[in-house]
Amino acid sequence: MAIMEVKNLSVIYHASGKRVAAVSDVSLTIEERDAIGIVGESGSGKSTLAMAILRLLPERIAQAQGEVSFEGADLLTLPAEKLNQLRWKQLAVVFQKSMNALSPVHKIGMQMTDVYRIKETGISKRETRSKMLQLLDMVNLPERVYDLYPHELSGGMMQRVAIALSLMHNPKLLILDEATTALDVVTQGQILEEMVALEQKLGITRMMITHDMSVVASSCNKVAVMYAGRILETGLVKDVLANPVHPYTKGLLKSIPSFTGEKRNIRGIPGSIPDLSVPNDGCIFAERCEHAMDSCLIEKPQDMVLPGNHRVACHLAGGAAYVS
């Protein structure tokens, strides 16, 4: 069953007289218990997409159109009170620097109980404490963390606290926006592994935003490749990463060195993301694509559905011009 459906979502930023189309016409379905990874270069609109779904964008400068239905409610038009009820309880988010949100002058335990008691009123202090200790244990932190100040913890531990906070009400959908990017290899590996185990236990659906393909490969089952505000390719991780169809996905994968096997030639994608304030009618990737044809510059490619609900937005997918 689909837990969230995003239909034709577009986000336009109005900045200094320009209209920047940060996300344009994105449709995405997230099934229950999925772990979907959203990958792309910096500036491709991944974070904007997440912020639009959570309705955290500043309304004065960002204009979101489309529909985001979450359990039957459209998040974009929901009244603020109703939305407040969903946040934390159903929808939780962890940002890259979530740990910076911790107040330096209060103990971790106190900050956690404060947040908990906003939603869960009429619960005794002792009960809250035992619940918080349980949460800390869930993310593999020792009990003593409850009585420590943030400066006494390392970055990895603080990020774990942030993850514990997001899990406190057993949310249905958890959004991680580069939540492990700033961490060390060992810490990142451990947190990812813990996340996957927790999800299976609690039945959480996860949306993970990252620029690191290998993180997606090791912790997600679905992936959506985003470029310049559009989703170019989506499907199961084992389909998309093993048999990429879109030239952009291929390029991204080619630029990542591999650990085993021969040292094949790694190659970057030449060029950079186009100016999104200029309207583009054709394929957004055409400028950097080595297989671009005339039609790519004029016509916007439609989603092409391959077996396994593997969707690709490319004129060349399935076409004779693109056999290799």
Partner 1 sequence: MSAEQQHAIAVDQLIKYYSQRKKIVSPDGKVSRKQQVKSVDGVSFTLQKGEVLGVIGESGCGKSTLGKLLVRLEEETSGSIRFSGVPSKELHKRSQLAFRRTAQMIFQNPFDTFDPRYTIAELLTDTLKLHKIGGSYDERLAMCEQKMEQAGLVPAQHYLHRYPHELSGGQLQRISILRSMLLSPLFIVADEPVSMLDVSVRADIINMLIDVCQKENTAMVFISHDIISTRYVSDKVAVMYLGRFVEYGPTEEVLHNPKHPYTKALISNSAMLESLEQKREVIRIEGEPPTPINTGPGCYFYSRCYQRRDSCQSIYPDFTDVGAGHKVACPYTS
213 part of the interface to partner 1, by CB under 8 A? yes
Min dist. Cβ of residue 184 to partner 1 (A) = 5
**Region of 100-108, 159-167, 207-215, 304-312 interacting with partner 1 (CB under 8 A):** 207-215
Task: Give the integer Cα–Cα distance in Å for 287 and 274.
Answer: 8
Find the helix packing angle between 108-119 and 125-138, rounded to 10°. 110
| Interface pick for partner 1 out of 5, 25, 31, 41 (rule CB under 8 A) | 41
Site map (CB under 8 A) of partner 1, residues 215-244, x = contact: x-xxx-----------------xx--xx--
151 part of the interface to partner 1, by CB under 8 A? no
97 part of the interface to partner 1, by CB under 8 A? no
Number of residues in contact with partner 1, rule: CB under 8 A?
A: 43
27 part of the interface to partner 1, by CB under 8 A? no
Min dist. Cβ of residue 41 to partner 1 (A) = 5
Min dist. Cβ of residue 59 to partner 1 (A) = 30
Q: CB of 139 within 8 A of CB of 194?
A: yes
Three-state SS at 30:
strand
DSSP letters spanning 120-182: S-S--HHHHHHHHHHHHHHTT--GGGGG--GGGS-HHHHHHHHHHHHTTT--SEEEEESTTTT
Which C-beta is closer to partner 1: that of 190 or that of 277? 190
Cα-only R_g, the chain: 21
| Alpha-helical segments (H) within the chain | 46-54, 80-86, 108-119, 125-138, 155-166, 185-202, 213-219, 237-240, 247-254, 294-298
- In the region spanning residues 272 to 291, those forming contacts with partner 1, defined by CB under 8 A, are 272
**Which H or E run includes 5?**
strand 2-15
259 part of the interface to partner 1, by CB under 8 A? yes
Min dist. Cβ of residue 80 to partner 1 (A) = 36
Strand partners, 304: 312
Please provide residue 98's backbone torsions phi and psi, each rounded to the nearest 5 degrees: -55, -30
CA angle 163–85–229, rounded 5-degree value: 65
Task: Give the integer Cα–Cα distance in Å for 252 and 249.
Answer: 5
Which C-beta is closer to partner 1: that of 53 or that of 232? 232
Q: Which is it for strands 222-227 and 35-39: parallel, antiparallel or unpaired? A: parallel
Q: CB of 274 within 8 A of CB of 251?
A: no
| Interface pick for partner 1 out of 254, 287, 303, 306 (rule CB under 8 A) | 254
Site map (CB under 8 A) of partner 1, residues 175-194, x = contact: ---------xxxxxxx-xx-
Which C-beta is closer to partner 1: that of 125 or that of 263? 263
| Interface pick for partner 1 out of 94, 138, 157, 226 (rule CB under 8 A) | 157
Which C-beta is closer to partner 1: that of 184 or that of 299? 184
- CA 53 vs. chain centroid, Å, equals 10
| Interface pick for partner 1 out of 257, 281, 320, 321 (rule CB under 8 A) | 257
Which C-beta is closer to partner 1: that of 49 or that of 64? 49
As given in the structure block, the two tokens for residue 165 are 């906070």
Which C-beta is closer to partner 1: that of 271 or that of 318? 271
Residues, the chain, total?
324
Which C-beta is closer to partner 1: that of 68 or that of 215? 215
| Interface pick for partner 1 out of 33, 97, 129, 211 (rule CB under 8 A) | 211
The contact set with partner 1 (CB under 8 A) reads 41-42, 154, 156-157, 184-190, 192-193, 211-215, 217-219, 237-238, 241-242, 251-260, 263, 265-269, 272
